[in-house]
Structure 1
Amino acid sequence: MADHGTDSGWDLVVTPWHLDEYLPAFPIPDTAAQAPRPALPAGSVAARMSRLHRAALDTVASAARPLVLSGDCPTTRAAVAALQRRHRDLAVLWLDAHGDFNTPAISTSGYLGGMALSMLTGRTPDLFDDPLDLRPVPDTNVVLAGARDLDPAERDALTGSHVHRVPADPAAVVSALDELGPVPVYLHLDIDVIDGAELPGARFPSGPGPSLAQIADCLAAACATADVTAAYLACAWLPEHVDDHATRRTITRLTTALGASLT
């Protein structure tokens, strides 16, 4: 996948892993910076992820306006920690079919990928051995769009929070961002927010939902409305599908909506 977006204002960064699993087939644009892959220690998945996130942090921090292509959501810790080095305040626009608002205490599966937004908002303080100097993002600065596949305890946690929940609709996204005021926005998209029928090979398809075209419109509207200082695409396809033609086409459509040009 060659990048032709040198004048787009985006600096491409690739973190080709899912949790602690390296994805050798992950499509990497020619001009992208690839986060180094350190030797991983024996032990827990969280400890191994900490090592990967530390490596990704420095790579993202060196990008002026990072656009991260990743195989999971939790590496978002590194992206936001990098942004916080130069932004005192930060808002988060999180487009995902799942809430990613589980914690070790309430998760029924223990799947760390389902805790990514909780990680950013300070709800998993003891999960990782390297906190990355990540400051919790206040709930009031978080917009969760398109979440429709929630565990019962996760739904309760979101209801009891101050996270703004909206449909994955361009007008709703723009309205929510307007309410946050002039604060830099970190835009996070998990591809499973898209209708499952349009995502062959997705790890966690969530059935009927907004179309790829509607999600692309949400991204374009957010960039036109807010100061989107960084973006992150969680390309959560199964390893054997992460480099399919349909996968590449979807990634290209989404990055185009953000203003980056990939082939």
Structure 2
Amino acid sequence: MRPLLVPYHLDDHLPELDIPVDASTTIERELGDGSPWERMARLYDAVAEDVAATARHGTTPMVLSGDCTTSLGAVAGLQRAGTTPSIVWFDAHGDLQTLETSHSGYLGGIPLRILLGYRPELISDALGLHPVEQRRTVLVDGRDLDPPEQEFLGTSPVRQCPVAELNASTLPDGPIYLHVDLDVLRKEDVPSLVFPTEGGPSATAVDAALAEVLASDRVVAVGLACTWHPQCGSAERVARLCPSLFG
């Protein structure tokens, strides 16, 4: 894999963000004026270009950043390279909110919904990002869902799967974009998470599930959301806990 560091949380630069693997490239941009969506579109366009170039050379890109919205650039890049990816999304949260349903308005709570086609005028149109089919999307864990997210999943073909039940038969068809928000791990395992969530699977179970996805030989890109406070030791802990990704 080719690790690509995007040291941002949304459009905020995180120059001290530590990650579990050495990056071969770091993408940093002057984002200029405009709305957060406009600023992120400039950043994610650069991400998409790097991902597309890497994929065209037959190498699997691994995009590491401080949140999950960078997935928009990663998937757009795969599509630019001619790939129509499915999604396997490891996360303690759903990331399926909308601006209309979110009480907090936190933009990091909606990227999976955007990938599935929500309001393309926000950023998808600028990136040339096409919706991923809901039936080809699996949310792994998602133990902390807001009521609107639960309602969406109740009527959507998106599948939700506990970590322990993920296996070859539950994976979607086609090439896979594997997204891992590392808050899928228990807060006891990664104590400096920005949005820690009670409960959750053991690190051993998460690593086994990741190994199952990687063993499919269909993973065409990996997105890692390093959702922790920088320089608190989380990167080193995660590198030890998830040898399937970093071993």
Structures share a fold, TM > 0.5?
yes
**Cα shift readout 1:201-244 (whole Å, capped 9, x = no counterpart):** 10111111011221111111111124111111100012xxx233
The more displaced of 111-120 and 22-31 is: 22-31
- Contact 1:118 1:124 (8 Å CA) reproduced: no
1:76-155 to 2 correspondence within 5 Å? 76-128=71-123, 131-155=126-150
| 1:197 positional shift | 1.7
- Contact 1:145 1:173 (8 Å CA) reproduced: no
The 1:243–1:251 alpha-carbon spacing in structure 2 relative to 1, beyond 3 Å, is: farther
1:175 aligns with 2:163: no
Give 2:214's aligned residue. 223
Give 1:32's aligned residue. 24
Q: Secondary structure at the match of 2:17?
A: coil
Give 1:165's aligned residue. 160
Structure 2 counterpart of 1:257, from 233, 244, 247: 244
User: Where do 5+ consecutive residues of structure 2 fail to align?
Assistant: none
The 1:131–1:252 alpha-carbon spacing in structure 2 relative to 1, beyond 3 Å, is: farther
Give 2:188's aligned residue. 197
Q: Secondary structure at the match of 2:109?
A: helix
Alignment-mate amino acid for residue 233 of structure 2:
H
1:248 aligns with 2:236: yes
Q: Distance in 1 between matches of 2:94 and 2:62?
A: 22
Alignment-mate amino acid for residue 17 of structure 2:
F
Q: Secondary structure at the match of 1:209?
A: coil
Alignment-mate amino acid for residue 244 of structure 2:
A
Structure 1 counterpart of 2:65, from 58, 70, 93: 70
| 1:69 positional shift | 1.2
1:53 aligns with 2:44: yes
Q: Secondary structure at the match of 2:188?
A: helix
Q: Distance in 1 between matches of 2:66 and 2:201?
A: 21
Q: Distance in 2 between matches of 1:31 and 1:226?
A: 22
| 1:110 positional shift | 0.7
Q: Distance in 2 between matches of 1:130 and 1:42?
A: 19
| 1:154 positional shift | 1.6
Q: Secondary structure at the match of 1:188?
A: strand
User: Where do 5+ consecutive residues of structure 1 fail to align?
Assistant: 1-9
Q: TM-score, normalised by structure 1?
A: 0.86
Alignment-mate amino acid for residue 35 of structure 2:
S
Paired residues in the alignment total 242
Runs of 4+ in 1 over 4 A off after TM superposition: 28-31
Q: Alignment RMSD, CA only?
A: 1.8
1:4-19 to 2 correspondence within 5 Å? 10-19=1-10
**Cα shift readout 1:33-66 (whole Å, capped 9, x = no counterpart):** 111x221223322221112111211122222210
| 1:30 positional shift | 4.5
Q: Secondary structure at the match of 1:131?
A: helix
Q: Tell me the percent identity.
A: 39
- Contact 2:11 2:40 (8 Å CA) reproduced: yes
Q: Distance in 1 between matches of 2:91 and 2:119?
A: 19
Q: TM-score, normalised by structure 2?
A: 0.91
Q: Secondary structure at the match of 1:68?
A: strand
Q: Secondary structure at the match of 2:179?
A: strand
| 1:155 positional shift | 1.2
Alignment-mate amino acid for residue 243 of structure 1:
Q
